[in-house]
């Protein structure tokens, strides 16, 4: 199959997945998506598994890999890399890799390889549930393991998106644009609630000027900015192709609503809404 035909078939399948209500039917309860639980099994289509990188054998550092229900050996698939929010009980966020949700909401379980990357704690023995731990180790982990995952499971290195909620929304830039090498991995960025540079936090180089220098590494690539704490970006449109979206979380859910106990949530993409349709349209347009 030539390259153009492959891209056309992939794009058509991606769009059909979003249009077909049967997609990921096994993962739905009352029409909501339900993120697959992480298991200790071998990777397989429709399965989300824990993986420990060779460099971290013997530690509790891990990432989670999900292969879509339509995955087949030898295929080629776009990839979503996700970073989780902080541990914050008030909104139901555990900060754990295994509890990431946003990327699954994008795909509905089909069409994308989804990888939940860790933040590595100081000492490099476990993941950290709050903030960055050993930032350089976290950056290096992604730079080593993302290409490895793509090579092993058919991820398309030209179609890799980074996404994150809350801490992960900040991390999409603070981690994902930390240097030119990691910044070159991404075709686009999707964030929800917060963004690097919105305010100064208690960690190094969290000031706006430093954040804008990181953002410049995108060199105009597309960024879908959802939720709040990101309005300052409207003054810096020269740095990226920004799209802004404010999902009405309190209209999508009657909070508390199941696992959604606060409007600050990474589960909003798990319920059909006009906002979810817009997010999925953005992804389809940039594949």
So where are the chain's domains? 3-285
CB atoms within 10 A of CB 12: 11
Say if pTM beats, i.e. exceeds, 0.85.
yes
Under CATH, domain 3-285 is a member of which superfamily? Alpha/Beta hydrolase fold, catalytic domain (3.40.50.1820)
Q: What is the pLDDT of residue 111?
A: 98
pLDDT in tens, the chain (287 residues): 444 444 444 444 444 444 443 343 334 346 899 999 999 999 999 999 999 999 999 999 999 999 999 999 999 999 999 999 999 999 999 999 999 999 999 999 999 999 999 999 999 999 999 999 999 999 999 999 999 999 999 999 999 999 999 999 999 999 999 999 999 999 999 999 999 999 999 999 999 999 999 999 999 999 999 999 999 999 999 999 999 999 999 999 999 999 999 999 999 999 999 999 999 999 999 99
């Amino acid at each position: 199959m030539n390259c153009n035909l492959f891209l056309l078939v992939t794009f058509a399948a991606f769009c059909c997945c979003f249009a077909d209500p049967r997609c990921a039917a096994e993962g739905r309860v009352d029409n909501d998506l339900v993120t697959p639980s992480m298991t200790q099994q071998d990777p397989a289509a429709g399965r989300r598994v824990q993986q420990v990188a060779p460099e971290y054998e013997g530690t509790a550092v891990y990432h989670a890999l999900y292969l879509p229900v339509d995955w087949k050996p030898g295929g080629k698939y776009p990839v979503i890399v996700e970073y989780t929010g902080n541990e914050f009980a008030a909104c139901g966020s555990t900060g754990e890799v295994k509890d990431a949700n946003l990327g699954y909401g994008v795909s509905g379980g089909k069409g994308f390889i989804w990888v939940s990357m860790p933040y590595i704690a100081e000492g490099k023995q476990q993941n950290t549930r709050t903030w960055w731990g050993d930032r350089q180790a976290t950056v290096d982990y992604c730079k080593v393991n993302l290409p490895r995952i793509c090579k092993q499971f058919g991820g398309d290195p030209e179609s890799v998106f980074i996404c994150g909620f809350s801490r992960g929304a900040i991390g999409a830039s603070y981690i994902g644009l930390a240097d030119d090498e990691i910044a070159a991995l991404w075709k686009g960025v999707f964030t929800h609630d917060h963004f690097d540079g919105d305010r100064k936090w208690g960690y190094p180089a969290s000031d706006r000027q430093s954040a804008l220098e990181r953002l410049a590494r995108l060199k105009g690539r597309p960024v879908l900015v959802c939720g709040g704490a990101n309005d300052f970006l409207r003054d810096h449109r020269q740095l990226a192709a920004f799209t802004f979206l404010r999902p009405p979380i309190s209209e999508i859910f009657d909070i508390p609503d199941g696992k959604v106990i606060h409007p600050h949530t990474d589960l909003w993409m798990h319920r059909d809404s006009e906002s979810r349709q817009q997010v999925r349209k953005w992804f389809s347009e940039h594949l």
